[in-house]
């Protein structure tokens, strides 16, 4: 899938993306690219992200080095319980904090 290849290349170094969800303007959120999906944590010690299960959102990715616009991609948010390996990857991705969250969303991209 072409969008997955573009996102894979863009998100390997990006630690944050902009998410626009229904009824909300763009919001900068910390995210982690894993298994062809974007993982977003919300609540607890992390900022609340206005996502709901099944919401159709737009993910905007900017270059981590130049901050220029790279891609807008439609995705569907799925509330999920990450397996231990994914949960550890989410904790590790937050480098300077020990995140605790109330919700984890897996954003899946359409073709």
Asked if the model's pLDDT at residue 1 lies above 60, the reply is no
Task: Please give the pLDDT value at position 8.
Answer: 81
Q: What is the mean pLDDT of the chain?
A: 86
pLDDT at 111 > cutoff 80: no
Q: Rounded to an integer, what distance in angstroms lies between the CA atom of residue 95 and that of residue 98? A: 8
> Structural domain of residue 30, as residue ranges?
2-109
pTM of the model: 0.86
Number of domains present in the structure of the chain: 1
Mean pLDDT of 99-108: 91
Q: Rounded to a whole number, what is the distance in angstroms from the first to the last CA of the chain?
A: 6
pLDDT at 52: 95
43, 55 contact by CB (below 8 A): no
**Bridge partner residues of 75 (DSSP):** 57, 109
Q: What is the CATH number of the domain that holds 69?
A: 2.30.110.10
Give yes or no for residue 3 having a pLDDT over 90: no
What pLDDT shows up at residue 67?
75
37 phi and psi angles, rounded to 5 deg? -140, 160
> For 42-93, how does the pLDDT look when each residue is reduced to its tens digit (9 = 90+)?
988 888 899 999 999 999 988 777 778 888 999 999 999 999 998 888 888 8
- Report residue 26 as tokens: 């763009």
Rounded CA separation 97/101 (Å): 12
Distance, CA of 40 to chain centre: 4
């Amino acid at each position: 899938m072409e969008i997955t290849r573009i996102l894979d290349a863009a998100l390997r170094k990006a630690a944050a993306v902009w998410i626009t969800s229904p009824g909300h303007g763009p919001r900068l959120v910390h995210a982690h690219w894993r298994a062809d999906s974007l993982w977003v944590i919300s609540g607890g010690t992390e900022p609340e992200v206005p996502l709901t299960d099944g919401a159709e959102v737009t993910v905007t990715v900017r270059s981590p080095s130049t901050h220029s616009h790279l891609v807008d991609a439609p995705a569907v948010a799925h509330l999920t319980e990450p397996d231990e390996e994914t949960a550890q990857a989410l904790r590790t991705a937050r480098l300077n904090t020990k995140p605790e969250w109330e919700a984890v969303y897996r954003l899946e991209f359409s073709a």
